Amino acid sequence: MPRQAGKIPVGVSSCLIGEKVRYDGGDKNNAYITGILANYFHFIHFCPEVACGLGVPRPPIQLRQTSRGIRCIGVEDRQLDVTDTLRSCAEQQSHWLSGLCGYILKKNSPSCGIQDVRIFPDGPPTRTGVGLFAGFLQERFPLLPLEEENRLDNARICENFLQRVLVLHRWRQLLATPLTPHRLQDFHNRHQLLAMSRNRKLADDLGHLSASAEKDAIRRTADRYIRRLLTGLKKTATRNDHIGVLRHILKLVKQSLEAEDSAALQAALINYKNQKTTLAQPVELLKMHLYKHPNPFLQQSNYLDPDPAILALYRKI
Protein backbone atom coordinates (compact mmCIF):
# COMPACT_ATOMS: atom_id res chain seq x y z
CA MET A 1 0.00 0.00 0.00
CA PRO A 2 1.51 3.39 -1.00
CA ARG A 3 2.67 5.58 1.86
CA GLN A 4 0.46 8.67 2.36
CA ALA A 5 2.62 11.79 2.31
CA GLY A 6 3.28 13.30 5.72
CA LYS A 7 1.58 10.53 7.67
CA ILE A 8 3.24 8.17 10.13
CA PRO A 9 3.14 4.45 9.16
CA VAL A 10 1.25 2.41 11.75
CA GLY A 11 0.03 -1.16 11.49
CA VAL A 12 -3.54 -2.09 12.40
CA SER A 13 -5.62 -5.24 12.57
CA SER A 14 -7.73 -5.22 9.41
CA CYS A 15 -11.02 -5.78 11.20
CA LEU A 16 -10.53 -2.53 13.17
CA ILE A 17 -10.78 -0.40 10.04
CA GLY A 18 -13.92 -2.07 8.74
CA GLU A 19 -12.45 -4.92 6.70
CA LYS A 20 -14.79 -7.91 6.88
CA VAL A 21 -12.14 -10.43 7.79
CA ARG A 22 -13.46 -11.87 11.05
CA TYR A 23 -14.00 -15.62 11.27
CA ASP A 24 -17.77 -14.99 10.93
CA GLY A 25 -17.37 -12.61 7.98
CA GLY A 26 -17.87 -9.49 10.07
CA ASP A 27 -15.66 -6.61 11.20
CA LYS A 28 -14.89 -4.61 14.36
CA ASN A 29 -14.66 -1.13 12.87
CA ASN A 30 -13.32 1.34 15.45
CA ALA A 31 -14.52 4.92 14.92
CA TYR A 32 -11.64 6.48 16.87
CA ILE A 33 -9.09 4.73 14.67
CA THR A 34 -10.82 5.36 11.33
CA GLY A 35 -12.32 8.75 12.18
CA ILE A 36 -9.55 10.49 14.14
CA LEU A 37 -6.22 8.67 14.14
CA ALA A 38 -6.44 8.09 10.39
CA ASN A 39 -5.95 11.85 9.96
CA TYR A 40 -2.41 11.50 11.32
CA PHE A 41 -1.40 7.89 10.66
CA HIS A 42 -1.02 5.97 7.42
CA PHE A 43 -2.59 2.69 8.46
CA ILE A 44 -1.23 -0.50 6.96
CA HIS A 45 -3.86 -3.14 7.69
CA PHE A 46 -3.17 -6.82 8.07
CA CYS A 47 -5.03 -9.90 9.25
CA PRO A 48 -2.66 -12.80 9.95
CA GLU A 49 -5.47 -15.36 9.90
CA VAL A 50 -6.55 -14.34 6.40
CA ALA A 51 -2.95 -13.86 5.20
CA CYS A 52 -2.04 -17.41 6.16
CA GLY A 53 -4.89 -18.78 4.08
CA LEU A 54 -7.62 -19.56 6.61
CA GLY A 55 -10.21 -17.65 4.57
CA VAL A 56 -13.44 -15.81 5.39
CA PRO A 57 -15.58 -17.17 6.92
CA ARG A 58 -13.41 -19.74 8.67
CA PRO A 59 -13.54 -22.13 11.62
CA PRO A 60 -12.89 -20.21 14.88
CA ILE A 61 -9.56 -20.87 16.58
CA GLN A 62 -8.30 -20.53 20.15
CA LEU A 63 -5.13 -20.84 22.19
CA ARG A 64 -4.95 -24.20 23.92
CA GLN A 65 -2.47 -25.68 26.37
CA THR A 66 -1.18 -28.97 24.99
CA SER A 67 1.66 -31.40 25.61
CA ARG A 68 3.51 -29.47 22.87
CA GLY A 69 3.00 -26.15 24.61
CA ILE A 70 0.47 -23.47 23.73
CA ARG A 71 -0.98 -24.10 20.30
CA CYS A 72 -3.55 -22.30 18.15
CA ILE A 73 -6.22 -24.91 17.56
CA GLY A 74 -9.72 -25.07 16.10
CA VAL A 75 -12.54 -24.54 18.58
CA GLU A 76 -14.74 -27.21 17.01
CA ASP A 77 -12.12 -29.26 15.18
CA ARG A 78 -9.27 -30.03 17.59
CA GLN A 79 -7.31 -31.57 14.70
CA LEU A 80 -7.00 -28.10 13.12
CA ASP A 81 -3.66 -26.70 14.31
CA VAL A 82 -2.58 -23.45 12.62
CA THR A 83 0.22 -22.55 15.04
CA ASP A 84 3.13 -23.14 12.68
CA THR A 85 1.24 -21.62 9.74
CA LEU A 86 0.58 -18.40 11.65
CA ARG A 87 4.16 -18.17 12.87
CA SER A 88 5.56 -18.73 9.39
CA CYS A 89 3.20 -16.12 7.96
CA ALA A 90 4.29 -13.61 10.61
CA GLU A 91 7.94 -14.16 9.72
CA GLN A 92 7.18 -13.39 6.08
CA GLN A 93 5.90 -9.91 7.00
CA SER A 94 9.17 -8.69 8.53
CA HIS A 95 10.09 -6.56 5.50
CA TRP A 96 7.21 -4.12 5.99
CA LEU A 97 6.82 -4.49 9.73
CA SER A 98 10.35 -3.11 10.21
CA GLY A 99 9.23 0.24 8.79
CA LEU A 100 6.30 0.78 11.15
CA CYS A 101 6.25 3.25 14.04
CA GLY A 102 3.43 1.53 15.94
CA TYR A 103 0.74 -1.14 15.76
CA ILE A 104 -2.88 -1.26 16.97
CA LEU A 105 -4.15 -4.80 17.50
CA LYS A 106 -7.49 -6.50 18.15
CA LYS A 107 -8.03 -7.43 21.79
CA ASN A 108 -8.70 -11.03 22.83
CA SER A 109 -7.72 -12.41 19.44
CA PRO A 110 -5.76 -15.71 19.45
CA SER A 111 -3.57 -14.16 16.75
CA CYS A 112 -3.54 -10.42 17.60
CA GLY A 113 -4.34 -10.03 21.31
CA ILE A 114 -1.47 -8.46 23.27
CA GLN A 115 -2.54 -9.58 26.73
CA ASP A 116 -5.23 -11.47 28.65
CA VAL A 117 -6.03 -13.77 25.71
CA ARG A 118 -7.86 -16.87 26.87
CA ILE A 119 -5.86 -20.08 27.03
CA PHE A 120 -7.91 -23.25 27.24
CA PRO A 121 -6.44 -26.07 29.33
CA ASP A 122 -8.48 -29.10 30.34
CA GLY A 123 -10.33 -26.99 32.91
CA PRO A 124 -11.68 -23.41 32.84
CA PRO A 125 -9.76 -21.01 30.57
CA THR A 126 -7.22 -18.57 31.96
CA ARG A 127 -6.67 -15.04 30.63
CA THR A 128 -2.90 -15.21 30.51
CA GLY A 129 -2.20 -15.62 26.80
CA VAL A 130 -0.68 -13.55 24.01
CA GLY A 131 -1.84 -13.93 20.41
CA LEU A 132 0.67 -15.60 18.11
CA PHE A 133 1.14 -12.62 15.78
CA ALA A 134 1.28 -10.17 18.69
CA GLY A 135 3.85 -12.39 20.39
CA PHE A 136 5.93 -12.37 17.22
CA LEU A 137 5.84 -8.55 17.15
CA GLN A 138 6.90 -8.35 20.80
CA GLU A 139 9.80 -10.71 20.23
CA ARG A 140 11.05 -9.51 16.84
CA PHE A 141 10.36 -5.77 17.25
CA PRO A 142 10.63 -5.11 21.02
CA LEU A 143 10.77 -1.32 20.62
CA LEU A 144 7.70 -1.10 18.38
CA PRO A 145 4.82 0.56 20.30
CA LEU A 146 1.90 -1.87 20.49
CA GLU A 147 -1.59 -1.28 21.84
CA GLU A 148 -5.01 -2.88 21.78
CA GLU A 149 -7.91 -0.84 20.40
CA ASN A 150 -10.03 -0.94 23.57
CA ARG A 151 -7.23 0.48 25.73
CA LEU A 152 -7.09 3.61 23.58
CA ASP A 153 -10.32 4.64 25.31
CA ASN A 154 -8.16 5.33 28.38
CA ALA A 155 -6.71 8.85 27.93
CA ARG A 156 -3.40 8.14 29.68
CA ILE A 157 -2.83 4.86 27.85
CA CYS A 158 -3.67 6.55 24.57
CA GLU A 159 -1.28 9.41 25.40
CA ASN A 160 1.48 6.93 26.15
CA PHE A 161 0.99 5.03 22.90
CA LEU A 162 0.85 8.17 20.74
CA GLN A 163 3.96 9.62 22.38
CA ARG A 164 5.96 6.47 21.72
CA VAL A 165 4.80 6.35 18.11
CA LEU A 166 5.90 9.97 17.62
CA VAL A 167 9.27 9.35 19.28
CA LEU A 168 10.01 6.34 17.09
CA HIS A 169 8.93 8.32 14.02
CA ARG A 170 11.31 11.17 14.89
CA TRP A 171 14.08 8.64 15.57
CA ARG A 172 13.61 7.14 12.11
CA GLN A 173 13.85 10.66 10.68
CA LEU A 174 17.10 11.16 12.61
CA LEU A 175 18.57 7.95 11.23
CA ALA A 176 17.70 9.07 7.70
CA THR A 177 20.42 11.73 8.05
CA PRO A 178 24.11 11.19 8.81
CA LEU A 179 24.19 10.35 12.52
CA THR A 180 26.64 12.41 14.59
CA PRO A 181 27.18 12.99 18.33
CA HIS A 182 25.81 16.49 17.88
CA ARG A 183 22.57 15.25 16.29
CA LEU A 184 22.13 12.63 19.01
CA GLN A 185 22.61 15.31 21.67
CA ASP A 186 20.09 17.53 19.91
CA PHE A 187 17.59 14.64 19.82
CA HIS A 188 18.05 14.16 23.56
CA ASN A 189 17.58 17.84 24.29
CA ARG A 190 14.26 17.71 22.48
CA HIS A 191 13.13 14.62 24.44
CA GLN A 192 14.70 15.22 27.85
CA LEU A 193 11.51 16.55 29.46
CA LEU A 194 9.46 13.72 27.96
CA ALA A 195 11.84 11.22 29.56
CA MET A 196 11.61 13.19 32.81
CA SER A 197 7.84 12.78 32.75
CA ARG A 198 8.46 9.06 33.31
CA ASN A 199 11.45 9.13 35.61
CA ARG A 200 14.06 11.76 36.42
CA LYS A 201 16.78 9.11 36.57
CA LEU A 202 15.80 8.00 33.08
CA ALA A 203 16.31 11.55 31.81
CA ASP A 204 19.64 11.85 33.64
CA ASP A 205 20.92 8.51 32.36
CA LEU A 206 19.98 9.38 28.80
CA GLY A 207 21.67 12.76 29.18
CA HIS A 208 24.91 11.13 30.28
CA LEU A 209 24.67 8.57 27.48
CA SER A 210 24.09 11.14 24.73
CA ALA A 211 26.83 13.40 26.09
CA SER A 212 29.32 10.53 26.06
CA ALA A 213 28.73 9.68 22.40
CA GLU A 214 31.86 9.56 20.26
CA LYS A 215 31.97 9.65 16.48
CA ASP A 216 33.62 6.25 16.09
CA ALA A 217 31.00 4.51 18.22
CA ILE A 218 27.99 6.69 17.49
CA ARG A 219 25.74 3.93 16.13
CA ARG A 220 26.34 1.67 19.12
CA THR A 221 25.63 4.54 21.53
CA ALA A 222 22.55 5.54 19.55
CA ASP A 223 21.17 1.99 19.69
CA ARG A 224 21.61 1.96 23.47
CA TYR A 225 19.99 5.37 23.71
CA ILE A 226 16.80 4.57 21.79
CA ARG A 227 16.37 1.21 23.54
CA ARG A 228 16.62 2.92 26.91
CA LEU A 229 14.30 5.77 25.91
CA LEU A 230 11.52 3.70 24.35
CA THR A 231 11.69 1.13 27.14
CA GLY A 232 11.40 3.89 29.74
CA LEU A 233 8.50 5.51 27.90
CA LYS A 234 6.42 2.35 28.27
CA LYS A 235 5.62 3.60 31.76
CA THR A 236 2.44 5.64 31.68
CA ALA A 237 2.96 9.18 32.98
CA THR A 238 0.74 10.13 35.91
CA ARG A 239 -0.65 13.53 36.82
CA ASN A 240 2.04 13.85 39.50
CA ASP A 241 4.72 12.98 36.92
CA HIS A 242 3.53 15.84 34.71
CA ILE A 243 3.38 18.22 37.66
CA GLY A 244 7.01 17.39 38.44
CA VAL A 245 8.05 18.29 34.89
CA LEU A 246 6.00 21.49 34.91
CA ARG A 247 7.57 22.61 38.20
CA HIS A 248 11.00 21.91 36.69
CA ILE A 249 10.10 24.13 33.73
CA LEU A 250 8.92 26.89 36.06
CA LYS A 251 12.35 26.89 37.70
CA LEU A 252 13.96 27.31 34.29
CA VAL A 253 11.83 30.38 33.44
CA LYS A 254 11.67 31.82 36.95
CA GLN A 255 13.91 34.80 36.16
CA SER A 256 11.74 35.94 33.26
CA LEU A 257 8.37 35.41 34.94
CA GLU A 258 6.41 38.49 35.86
CA ALA A 259 4.27 38.35 38.98
CA GLU A 260 1.01 38.10 37.05
CA ASP A 261 2.29 35.28 34.83
CA SER A 262 3.73 33.44 37.82
CA ALA A 263 0.41 33.61 39.65
CA ALA A 264 -1.49 32.35 36.60
CA LEU A 265 0.88 29.41 36.14
CA GLN A 266 0.79 28.46 39.81
CA ALA A 267 -3.01 28.56 39.74
CA ALA A 268 -3.06 26.39 36.62
CA LEU A 269 -0.78 23.85 38.32
CA ILE A 270 -3.04 23.72 41.37
CA ASN A 271 -6.12 23.28 39.19
CA TYR A 272 -4.41 20.53 37.22
CA LYS A 273 -3.26 18.79 40.40
CA ASN A 274 -6.82 18.94 41.76
CA GLN A 275 -8.19 17.56 38.47
CA LYS A 276 -10.10 20.76 37.74
CA THR A 277 -8.42 21.26 34.38
CA THR A 278 -6.40 19.36 31.79
CA LEU A 279 -2.69 19.35 31.05
CA ALA A 280 -3.36 21.67 28.13
CA GLN A 281 -3.99 24.70 30.38
CA PRO A 282 -0.57 24.98 32.10
CA VAL A 283 1.19 23.92 28.88
CA GLU A 284 -0.53 26.64 26.85
CA LEU A 285 0.29 29.26 29.49
CA LEU A 286 3.94 28.22 29.37
CA LYS A 287 3.97 28.42 25.58
CA MET A 288 2.49 31.92 25.74
CA HIS A 289 5.22 32.94 28.15
CA LEU A 290 7.90 31.48 25.88
CA TYR A 291 6.51 33.46 22.98
CA LYS A 292 7.24 36.65 24.94
CA HIS A 293 10.45 35.39 26.56
CA PRO A 294 12.15 32.86 24.25
CA ASN A 295 14.03 29.93 25.77
CA PRO A 296 15.77 27.81 23.09
CA PHE A 297 15.89 24.65 25.21
CA LEU A 298 12.20 24.72 26.10
CA GLN A 299 11.02 25.85 22.69
CA GLN A 300 12.63 22.87 21.01
CA SER A 301 11.21 20.46 23.58
CA ASN A 302 8.80 17.88 22.24
CA TYR A 303 7.20 17.75 25.67
CA LEU A 304 5.61 21.17 25.28
CA ASP A 305 4.86 20.80 21.58
CA PRO A 306 5.27 17.16 20.42
CA ASP A 307 3.43 17.69 17.16
CA PRO A 308 1.05 20.57 16.41
CA ALA A 309 -1.53 18.40 14.67
CA ILE A 310 -1.73 15.56 17.16
CA LEU A 311 -1.14 17.54 20.37
CA ALA A 312 -4.81 17.95 21.23
CA LEU A 313 -5.37 14.21 21.10
CA TYR A 314 -3.48 13.51 24.30
CA ARG A 315 -3.44 16.70 26.31
CA LYS A 316 -7.03 16.21 27.46
CA ILE A 317 -6.12 14.43 30.69
- 261 lies in some domain: yes
- 136 lies in some domain: yes
Identify the domain containing residue 199 by its residue range. Answer: 153-232
- 178 lies in some domain: yes
State residue 4's pLDDT score: 59
Q: How confident is the model at residue 6 (pLDDT cuts 50, 70, 90)?
A: confident
Same domain, 142 and 181: no
Single residue among 182, 212, 232 that ends a domain in this structure? 232
Which residues are 62's β-sheet partners? 73
- 1 lies in some domain: no
- 3 lies in some domain: no
Mean pLDDT of 291-317: 76
- 2 lies in some domain: no
Mean pLDDT of 32-50: 94
Same domain, 141 and 31: yes
Count structural domains, the chain.
Answer: 3
Single residue among 134, 152, 170 that ends a domain in this structure? 152
Higher pLDDT, 195 or 278: 195
Q: How confident is the model at residue 124 (pLDDT cuts 50, 70, 90)?
A: confident
Same domain, 193 and 291: no
Smallest CA-to-CA distance from 168 within 191, 185, 198 is with: 191
Within 56-160, strands assigned E span 61-66, 69-74, 103-105, 117-120, 126-129, 146-148
Query: Which of 18-22, 35-39, 49-53, 108-112 has the lowest average pLDDT?
Result: 35-39
* CB within 8 Å of 270: residues ≥ 6 apart: none
CA atoms within 13 A on the CB side of 185: 10
State residue 2's pLDDT score: 47
Residue type at 250?
L
State residue 276's pLDDT score: 93
Mean pLDDT of 147-168: 93
